[in-house]
């Protein structure tokens, strides 16, 4: 049965969106999974390493409770860690328009329709490709935007530059001519220099720069606002997704969200609002609360075991240096 593009898109918009409500991220993401297509890695170990997602089989990811915090760590991670993470959660950006939407009555964005094959129906053609460096850029940008939203942190040039990336990268990935104009740090920096602190639109002068970037990142990831009947519900967003024929342990419907980016950006908005993870007093990065939260005037490391170990070693070294200095003074006094 034939159908028009507008009708297919309307059906997908009506049927294929789900809600995510503000809460601790493990709870907020409890009923969500990402779709994980088959992955092939091209030019592994090279600067141009590329993740090529080839469609079938598409399976749901593992639970996503810590995916936001894990993803922030990829900004400084080796390529192997990024590839391992990608195999667990699928692509950053799912194509907005699915293959075959002109001749199908099923919503075009469903994973089954976004897979194509070559003329012999045996070799899958790429569903999408993502340069591995884009994953690191997105992680670095997401971390920068998270830091920019924290009023306690100073705004430096690096944070300002990279905080544009979450809004820009999804559009660059979707550009069929993206290879003709690579997305570089230089463009991010020049954009900030041109617009930071300026009223781009006179009607938007009251919107802070960090809020503009968060709004843009939400829109780029196709995360939309929802309007809960109960105003006490906090933030509520809608994400592009497909219901799975499965339920979570509490009987709720599981949803497969198309692309990791919507999950990450919605999680960012929640994490900023709830301050789910305080910052380690040594490295300044978010840390999970293990036994107790931070207390004013006290060092706090959360789950940063390395920071705790380094601080303990420095304390022992300082104690030893003070002891040695005291003994030296005593020896000098006795000699006199």
Q: Is the peptide bond before 17 cis (omega within 30 degrees of 0)?
A: no
Average pLDDT, the chain: 83
Taking residues 103-108, what's their average pLDDT? 31
Taking residues 98-113, what's their average pLDDT? 34
Taking residues 91-118, what's their average pLDDT? 47
pLDDT value, residue 71: 97
The whole-angstrom separation of Cα 56 and Cα 114 is 9
Nearest Cα residue to 214 out of 167, 270, 180: 167
pLDDT value, residue 2: 52
Note the pLDDT tens digit of each residue in 183-215. 889 999 999 988 886 655 545 567 888 999 999
Nearest Cα residue to 244 out of 97, 21, 9, 33: 33
Contacts of 270 (CB under 8 A, 6+ apart): 22, 23, 25, 28, 235, 276
pTM score, whole prediction: 0.82
Task: Specify which residues 236 forms β-bridges with.
Answer: 21
Contact status, residue 163 vs residue 214, Cβ threshold 8 Å: no
């Amino acid at each position: 049965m034939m159908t028009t593009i507008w009708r297919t898109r309307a059906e997908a918009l009506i049927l294929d969106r789900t809600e995510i409500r503000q809460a601790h991220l493990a709870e907020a993401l409890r009923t969500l999974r990402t779709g994980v297509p088959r992955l092939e890695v091209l030019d592994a170990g090279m600067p141009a390493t590329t993740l090529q997602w080839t469609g079938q089989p598409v399976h749901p990811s593992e639970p996503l409770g810590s995916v936001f915090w894990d993803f922030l760590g990829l900004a400084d991670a080796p390529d192997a860690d990024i590839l391992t993470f990608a195999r667990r959660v699928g692509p950053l950006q799912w194509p907005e328009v699915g293959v075959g939407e002109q001749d199908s009555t099923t919503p075009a964005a469903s994973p089954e329709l976004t897979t194509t094959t070559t003329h012999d129906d045996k070799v899958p053609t790429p569903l999408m490709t993502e340069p591995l460096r884009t994953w690191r850029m997105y992680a670095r940008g997401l971390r920068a935007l998270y830091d920019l939203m924290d009023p306690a942190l100073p705004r430096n040039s690096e944070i300002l530059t990279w905080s544009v990336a979450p809004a820009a990268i999804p559009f660059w990935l979707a550009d069929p001519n993206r290879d003709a104009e690579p997305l570089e740090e230089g463009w991010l920096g020049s954009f900030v220099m041109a617009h930071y602190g300026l009223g781009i639109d006179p009607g938007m002068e009251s919107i802070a720069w960090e809020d503009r970037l968060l709004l843009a990142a939400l829109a780029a990831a196709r995360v939309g606002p929802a309007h809960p009947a109960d105003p006490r519900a906090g933030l509520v967003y809608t994400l592009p997704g497909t219901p799975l024929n499965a339920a979570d342990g509490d009987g709720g419907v599981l949803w497969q969200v198309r692309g990791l980016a919507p999950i990450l950006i919605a999680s960012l908005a929640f994490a900023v609002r709830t301050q789910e993870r305080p910052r380690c007093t040594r490295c300044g990065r978010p840390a999970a609360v293990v036994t107790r939260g931070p207390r004013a005037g006290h060092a706090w490391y959360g789950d940063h075991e390395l920071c705790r170990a380094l601080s303990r070693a420095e304390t022992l070294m300082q104690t030893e240096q003070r002891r040695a200095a005291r003994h030296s003074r005593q020896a000098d006094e006795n000699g006199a």
